[in-house]
Structure 1
Amino acid sequence: MSNTPVTELTDRAREIFRLVVEGFISSGQPMGSKALAGAGRVNLSPASIRSVLAELEMLGLLAAPHTSAGRMPTETGLRLFVDGMMQVAEPTRQERAAIEKRLGEPGPIEAALEQASTILSDISGAAGMVMVPTREPRLAQMSLVPLSPTRALAVMVGEDGQIENRILELTEPAASSSLEQASNYITARLAGRTLAEAAAAMTAEINSGRSELDLVSRDLVERGLAVWSADASARPVLIIRGQANLLDEAALGDIERVRSLLDDLENKQSVAELLERARKADATRIFIGAENRLFALSGSSVIASPYRDREGKVVGVLGVIGPTRLNYARVVPMVDFTAQSLGKLIG
């Protein structure tokens, strides 16, 4: 692996290297000396260009595929380009307005998260990913409605107005009065708390002997809260949109790599663990190819940025994943702006 800084490359080597990288990102194809010499791109003969290409290959910045006489950047070369040569293309006013409008459409925050993932997919031409915020909803009201002697409907209303229903299987028949007592207890004493906080407060009160619940109602409270706690842990941690974008014409020649990438994306928990590495970053992070173990085989790149709530606390991460020829200069600032815009919607 080369550790050559950009400043140690000659002017002509730097220019040829830049053209090869930009050509590869644009077309997905290796760049040959004739293509670089054509259209006045480089004021050198093809023979001189081939000599520079060979030097860059020896430095580990370029590679020559067996099926082509051209060169393409290695992962090391892409890292050098991204860190030392790339000039980002900030989103225009119209693009920023369009992103904010799509994110701000009426609906629950889950709709905004899905929209963010779709936006990132559209922008990058790859797959968009959004890690769901880890914060829990706070209870406003909880009711237990009898369905049969051994089944009840648990209805939870969050402080954000969201309503969720769950079927509660009872270990033994419960009277309507016990269901009502349990519902009143939860609403009166546990409102304004998260599920974890509510369960801890309930346990402390029962253990201290201060609870006025009978045994049946106490069991209903415990089971009613537990059904949401278990449900929360099983919810998807990641929203991914645009996987079909990964099957473009350039990918058809390397279908095994794409199949490997799609298999990796199926393991959302592992993808989320990768994105966790970007949670503590101050800015957008770029993982190229083997720099992340999860996507080493598929040779893919990930661009990820944390998003924060209105108090400045990081609540999730969003980004894109695709081939290493992602248009980093355009996608990086778009990911960053989308993260900022989504954060404004998180209370």
Structure 2
Amino acid sequence: MQPLSLPDLNDRARTVFREIVDAYLASGAPVGSRTLSKLASVGLSPASIRNVMQDLEELGLLAAPHTSAGRLPTELGLRLFVDGMMQMTAPSAEERAAIDSGLQGGAIEDILGRTTAALSGLSACAGLVLVPRGEVVLRQVSFVPLSPVKALAVLVGTDGSVENRVIDLPPELPPIALIEAANYINARLEGLTLAGAAERLRAEIAENRAALDAATSGLIEQGIAAWSSDGSRAVLIVRGSANLLGGSAADLERARLLLGDIEGKEELARVLDLARTASSIKVFIGSENKLFSLSGSSVIAAPYRGPDGRVVGVVGVIGPTRLNYARIVPMVDYTAQTLSRLI
């Protein structure tokens, strides 16, 4: 089935649909025919409006929570509205100033955190920023035996970060191999990134300049590989999760599920990572992404770029599907553009 587009709706259906979505996003309540009949922009009787609403429901754009209630837009309806019908509102001077205030001074991580917090407060959502993780530079390494076949590899970076990985040991590896591996890394590879360390190790082995046996060199390679396996993984910063709480019991349950989605940061980071390849803003609505199929959440995200124009991260918000898209989409876009200018 081909997705619906605006040309599939006649003028009367478009008008009724737009008014229902606007009213729902403003109030969160189902919209009835009598309410719409009082709007000059609609100009139809309640009976005529009910006929149009029935047609829109059959198209999958509206749903009725109860037989006697008004209608709500479905996720399909929200997608149609966001892609082709909403009239976006540029951020006000006050909103731009609030976002800009987070950019004043400090380390880039602090700036990103403050900017995301400002975006969270303005949107009443949780603010998100996906930060590229810098490459670890080796300062010190040690290997701690855990069992005859397991060891804990401990890496200390020049930035003071400490990372641990459990690695497998080859059968009957002599204990001295752990000491020799650590000594080699600390003497020959200190000050290098993981990629640089792996390259130097390969070069020295090829040139027979590494006084290591096969077991020890294999241990070093395995340790470097263990740290490198997620070295390019981005870091997700979340601000303002408390904004998602409040409202009715149903809202609280949805918020509970949504907070669970946020706690699974790796999954959420993968969703945001999809926005890296977007030329501009990206909107994920509800079950379009399986992560939000239960909580009914929407993510609005936009990539921000470095001096060379390359995408370096993603900024956005997450909240219920009943968002003021027309206001928040430009706000997220402005934040991404501002971060791009700063970085």
Scaled by the length of structure 2, what TM-score is found? 0.77
**Distance in 2 (alpha carbons) for counterparts of 1:154 and 1:286:** 39
Tell which deviates more after alignment, 47-56 or 230-239.
230-239
Task: Give the letter aligned to residue 16 of structure 2.
Answer: I
CA contact (8 A) 1:2 1:59 kept: no
Corresponding residue number in structure 2 for 1:86: 86
- Secondary structure (helix, strand or coil) at the match of 2:314 reads strand
Tell which deviates more after alignment, 61-70 or 253-262.
253-262
**Distance in 2 (alpha carbons) for counterparts of 1:246 and 1:7:** 36
**Distance in 1 (alpha carbons) for counterparts of 2:88 and 2:295:** 26
Task: Give the letter aligned to residue 311 of structure 2.
Answer: V
- Secondary structure (helix, strand or coil) at the match of 2:65 reads coil
**Distance in 2 (alpha carbons) for counterparts of 1:72 and 1:336:** 27
Root-mean-square deviation over aligned CA pairs = 3.9
Corresponding residue number in structure 2 for 1:150: none
1:110 is aligned to 2:109:
yes
Cα shift at 1:314: 1.7
**Distance in 1 (alpha carbons) for counterparts of 2:212 and 2:5:** 73
Identify if the C-alpha distance between structure 1 residues 93 and 24 changes in structure 2 by more than 3 Å, giving closer, same or farther.
Answer: same
1:259 is aligned to 2:273:
no
1:327 is aligned to 2:324:
yes
Corresponding residue number in structure 2 for 1:269: 266
- What is the aligned-residue identity percentage? 48
Cα shift at 1:95: 2.8
1:208 is aligned to 2:207:
yes
Task: Give the letter aligned to residue 118 of structure 1.
Answer: A
Task: Give the letter aligned to residue 50 of structure 2.
Answer: R
CA contact (8 A) 2:20 2:72 kept: yes
Aligned mate of 2:302, from 295, 300, 305: 305
Corresponding residue number in structure 2 for 1:196: 195
**Distance in 2 (alpha carbons) for counterparts of 1:136 and 1:120:** 28
Task: Give the letter aligned to residue 127 of structure 1.
Answer: A
Corresponding residue number in structure 2 for 1:147: none
CA contact (8 A) 1:131 1:317 kept: yes
Cα shift at 1:253: 2.5
Corresponding residue number in structure 2 for 1:60: 60
CA contact (8 A) 1:134 1:316 kept: no
Cα shift at 1:3: 3.8
Residues 152-210 of structure 1, C-alpha deviation per residue, up to 9 Å, x if partnerless?
x98644xxxx5546799xx77x99xx98x9767556xxx5x533223322442255233
Aligned mate of 1:336, from 329, 333, 336: 333
**Distance in 1 (alpha carbons) for counterparts of 2:75 and 2:56:** 13
Aligned mate of 2:247, from 239, 244, 249: 249
Identify if the C-alpha distance between structure 1 residues 135 and 15 changes in structure 2 by more than 3 Å, giving closer, same or farther.
Answer: same
Residues 127-157 of structure 1, C-alpha deviation per residue, up to 9 Å, x if partnerless?
22222214425x4x8479xxxxxxxx98644
How many residues end up aligned between the 2 structures? 321
1:203-242 alignment to 2 at 5 Å? 203-210=202-209, 226=224, 229=227, 233=231, 237-242=235-240
- Secondary structure (helix, strand or coil) at the match of 1:277 reads helix
